């Protein structure tokens, strides 16, 4: 699941990249489409000359492409050691809290105060580690997403122009987070774009990891263990 924070950060990049390509792509000479287009090249949205309005789930297209599945899966494996480390810290914190609860009334004041202080110190360290891990994961997800979208944007525009679309709207966020209240499946170009991009990128489909069917576009996860609350000493 991509976080709301990540989605909001990427929303501007999606509009800027595709808009910039739409304004420059059709006028570019042959071979120029491979050059990177700056997301800040144009702040305006250009509509096509066709008559249809189509939709695309940008998030699903990027993450569900062969390249996206490969790179996000590699990131997930890269983050596993940190997730395991955080789980260990969380288990240690829970054990100390359980110790405080089970030994309540058996500890003298000094022993109890030392245990409470130890719990508070470890919780602060754990909370800081979780926040750092989340920020690092979000930054790496954002880098992968933007890198793939940078290359996918011209594919989207080219397909939309050739298919006679006047406008393509992103349906990654459901209403009311986005202005798209309802849309039909007939005008959705997500799968077509993913197929075209997979062919262009040359990245093979990931090998199946089991017999059970997998979702077409699994979303990246962010490590977010829940920190238990320390028990407060009685007043």
Q: What is the pLDDT of residues 38-76, one digit of tens each?
A: 444 444 455 556 679 999 999 999 999 999 999 999 999
pLDDT confidence tier of residue 178, bands split at 50, 70 and 90: confident
Residue 150 pLDDT > 80: yes
Q: How confident is the prediction for the chain on average, in pLDDT?
A: 78
Cβ-contact 101, 234 below 8 angstroms: no
Burial level of 204, CB count in 10 A (0-12/13-18/19+)?
A: exposed
Coil vs helix vs strand at 177: coil
pLDDT confidence tier of residue 91, bands split at 50, 70 and 90: very high
Residue 24's pLDDT is what?
52
* Cα–Cα distance, 97 to 114 (Å, whole number): 12
Percent of the chain past pLDDT 70, that is, above it, reads: 68
| pLDDT tens-place string over residues 181-201 | 888 888 999 999 999 999 999
* Cα–Cα distance, 28 to 31 (Å, whole number): 8
Q: Which of 17-21, 65-69, 129-133, 208-212 has the lowest average pLDDT? A: 17-21
Residue 48's closest CA among 30, 14, 31, 23? 23
Residue 207's pLDDT is what?
87
Output 123 or 16, whichever has higher pLDDT.
123
Cβ-contact 167, 54 below 8 angstroms: yes
Average pLDDT value for residue range 123-150:
96
For the whole model, what pTM was predicted? 0.69
Cβ-contact 151, 203 below 8 angstroms: no
Residue 113's pLDDT is what?
93
């Amino acid at each position: 699941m991509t976080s709301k924070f990540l989605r909001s950060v990427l929303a501007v990049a999606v509009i800027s990249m595709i808009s910039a390509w739409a304004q420059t792509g059709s006028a570019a000479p042959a071979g120029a489409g491979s050059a990177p287009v700056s997301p800040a090249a144009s702040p305006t949205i250009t509509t096509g000359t066709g008559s249809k309005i189509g939709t695309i789930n940008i998030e699903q297209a990027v993450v569900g492409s062969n390249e996206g599945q490969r790179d996000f899966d590699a990131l997930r494996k890269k983050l596993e050691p940190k997730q395991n480390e955080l789980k260990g810290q969380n288990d240690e914190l829970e054990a100390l809290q359980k110790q405080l609860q089970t030994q309540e009334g058996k500890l003298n004041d000094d022993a109890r105060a030392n245990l409470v202080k130890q719990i508070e110190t470890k919780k602060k360290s754990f909370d800081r580690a979780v926040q750092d891990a989340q920020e690092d994961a979000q930054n790496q997800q954002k880098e992968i997403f933007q890198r793939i979208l940078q290359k996918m944007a011209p594919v989207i525009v080219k397909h939309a122009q050739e298919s006679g679309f006047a406008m393509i709207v992103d349906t990654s966020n459901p209403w009311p987070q986005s202005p798209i209240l309802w849309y039909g499946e007939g005008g959705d170009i997500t799968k077509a774009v993913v197929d075209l991009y997979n062919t262009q990128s040359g990245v093979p489909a990931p090998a199946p990891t089991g017999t059970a069917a997998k979702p077409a576009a699994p979303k990246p996860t962010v490590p977010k263990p829940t920190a238990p609350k320390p028990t407060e000493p009685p007043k």
